[in-house]
Amino acid sequence: MHQPIRPQWVCAGCGVPWPCRTRKRQLVAEFTGARVSLILHLSAYLVQACEDLPHTPSGVLHTRFLAWQRSPALRGE
């Protein structure tokens, strides 16, 4: 299962920073046609991660949790 282990925010399935590549693809598939819902969902995780990782710059967390969904490769384009 590619879920986050908190408060470190690493993937339970593969041990890399969450969301991992596999979970990103799963999320894109789960939220097909609902991009705004995907962003809202990821934003909730971002807020939690900001609380758990207070020493991590917010820009780094934004990129990690939100910016990736703009990638054409992950969106299947």
Residue 77's pLDDT is what?
41
Residue 49's pLDDT is what?
98
* Planar angle of CA 25, 9, 48, nearest 5 degrees: 95
Positions in the chain short of pLDDT 50: 76-77
Report residue 7 as tokens: 């408060």
- E strands along the chain, which residues? 4-5, 10-11
Residue 70's pLDDT is what?
75
16 Cβ neighbours under 8 A, 6+ residues apart? 10
Residue 72's pLDDT is what?
62
**CA distance linking residue 48 with residue 72, whole number of Å:** 26
